[in-house]
Amino acid sequence: MQKKKNHSAFQIVTTIIFILILLIMHYSLDRQGVPINDNRSMYLTGGLIFLTISWLYIITSLQINKKPRMLESHKWKFAPLFVGIISFFSILALFTFASFDLFSTLLDTWNALFYLIVVYFIILYFYFIMSFVYRFLETKKEVIHYTYFWSLLIILILVFAI
């Protein structure tokens, strides 16, 4: 019981630290301005993605340590389809809302909404990769580590190759 409480406390502390880092990043960019067509923007994007994926890795790893049988569920077989459907409707909703002037006005007045949207899609991406890693890996104990590796590798190749 104590071990589960420690894992929950670590999850809460990690999430608070993640939110604080996002807030610091938001306020520093708000004061300095967001760089456009600068190498700094590429590193900023890569850093945000790395930070979010690392946070998800820690949170999910602690959850698996808390509930080791979590990855033994038969529901993981349907996870790629489930996450894919959620991602499709999320992108559809984003494009629909983006076509309204209210959405762009809201993004202009509240820049943090952009970060929330990016983090949301990174979460979907991470669990989509995790669902595929789960299907192809024999030992379920290593799923979270391989997920972290593959999700970072794919994103870093895409971000820095473009």
Average pLDDT over residues 24-34: 75
Give me the sign of the Cα torsion angle 49, 55, 56, 61: positive
pLDDT at site 72: 82
- Under a CB-based contact definition with an 8 Å cutoff, are residues 159 and 42 in contact? yes
**pLDDT tens digit sequence for 58-75:** 999 999 888 888 888 888
pLDDT at site 37: 59
pLDDT at site 3: 62
The pTM assigned to this predicted structure is 0.84
pLDDT at site 51: 92
Average pLDDT over residues 94-116: 81
pLDDT at site 4: 65
Give the residue extent of every domain in the chain.
2-161
Average pLDDT over residues 108-128: 87
Taking the C-alpha atoms of residue 160 and residue 132, their distance in angstroms, rounded to an integer, is: 23
Cβ-Cβ contacts under 8 Å for 153 (sequence gap 6 or more): none
**Dihedral-angle region of residue 35 (phi above 0 means left; psi in -120 to 50 means alpha; beta otherwise):** beta
